[in-house]
Amino acid sequence: MLCLVRGFEGFGKENGKDSVNIYQTLVGRVTEKKIREKAEVNLPNLPEEIVIEILSRLPLKSLVKITLVSKQWRSLIQSGFVKIVPRNNVLVRGRFSLHSIDQDFLVKIVDKPVEKNPYEIFSSCNGLLLIRIRDHLFLWNPLTKCSMKVLSYEPLLCTSYSVVSRLCFDSFSNEYKAVMALSHDITLFGGEFVVVSSFRSKTWTEINFPYHFCSVNSGPVVNENLHWFASDKSSDHFFAPHEIVYFNPRMNKFKKLPMPQLKNGHGDIMLGLGVLEGCLCMVRLRRGGMRSIRLRRGTEPWIAMGRGEVGEVVTRDRVNPS
């Protein structure tokens, strides 16, 4: 190491700052390698499930340092198997941009994952973003600056497809899944269809989705279930009543969520879905204004309907648990 330093001292005087940067990079790599090798020697042989559970409980700053501990831990953190949830910052994403808001309400632009290639942000889950670059999908953690290519899907190369995509996590198989609804005006290209990806097996599976693509609106992930609202294909008019459907990642299928019966048939046009106090909530149109609804799911699921501010309970309607 001493010979390396002396050699670069003379080389740096002749070739300027570039040689110094090369030297610093080499020294940094050697130091990082020594730290990793020393840590791996002393690491107990823990099952991967326990390692994932431990890492998921650590703060973000510790996770960044732990990437130097071992190749296995670094791989788990970067692969997305470790759920990294930002606790102090709020991420506000657009289709092609991302901003963070800290506890002091300071807004910062988050650096792009790639500089040369254009990218599109599809969705987010547990602090990870699903982004598209051409026909490739990546999991990107904007806080650790780590990204990983998960799989590709050739139809994404065709700009004539309309795409709605969301990311969810399946704790049973311990993997992330992407649900993607695609629509093409030409039936030869598939028309309307929905596919689900498995990041572990690197495969795509087409699933049944009997709803109009033009009415699909993506919603939040609650209790690992991905929620959308859409109109049933059996209805042939544009303003058909909306229904909430949810994707169960364990079963790889969509199910319809039971809805409360409204008086006089009003309020069947949904405006949006969200999360309030850990519950799925929605806002829908009715005569004379809007109605907010909050859904709770547990041992005794029920739907709370309110007027004005969300959360003012008026009635309770039973919902059969799924």
Give SS3 for 239. coil
| Side-chain half-sphere CA neighbours of 243 within 13 A | 18
Q: Which residue has the higher pLDDT, 18 or 153?
A: 153
How many CB atoms are located within 10 Å of the residue 11 CB? 15
- Name the strand (E) or helix (H) holding 53: helix 48-56
The DSSP call for residue 238 is T
Give SS3 for 224. coil
Q: Which residue has the higher pLDDT, 95 or 17?
A: 95
Residue range 188-196: mean pLDDT, rounded: 84
d(CA 31, CA 204): 41
Residue range 98-115: mean pLDDT, rounded: 68
- At 204, is the pLDDT very low, low, confident or very high (cuts 50, 70, 90)? very high
Q: Write down the mean pLDDT value for the chain.
A: 68
Residue ranges covered by each domain of the chain: 153-257, 266-322
Would you state the pLDDT for residue 9? 41
d(CA 221, CA 37): 40
16: region left, alpha or beta (phi > 0 left; psi from -120 to 50 alpha) = left
Q: Which residue has the higher pLDDT, 261 or 280?
A: 280
**141 touches 127 (CB < 8 A):** yes
Would you state the pLDDT for residue 179? 92
Would you state the pLDDT for residue 28? 52
Give SS3 for 228. strand
- Kindly state the tokens that stand for 131: 């982004």
- At 112, is the pLDDT very low, low, confident or very high (cuts 50, 70, 90)? low
- At 277, is the pLDDT very low, low, confident or very high (cuts 50, 70, 90)? confident
d(CA 302, CA 300): 7
The DSSP call for residue 45 is -
- Kindly state the tokens that stand for 170: 């399946």
Kindly provide the b/e burial profile for residues 28-47, where b requires at least 16 CB atoms within 10 angstroms of the residue's own CB. eeeeeeeebeeeeeeeeeee
Strand order in the sheet with 136-141: 120-125, 128-133, 136-141, 146-152
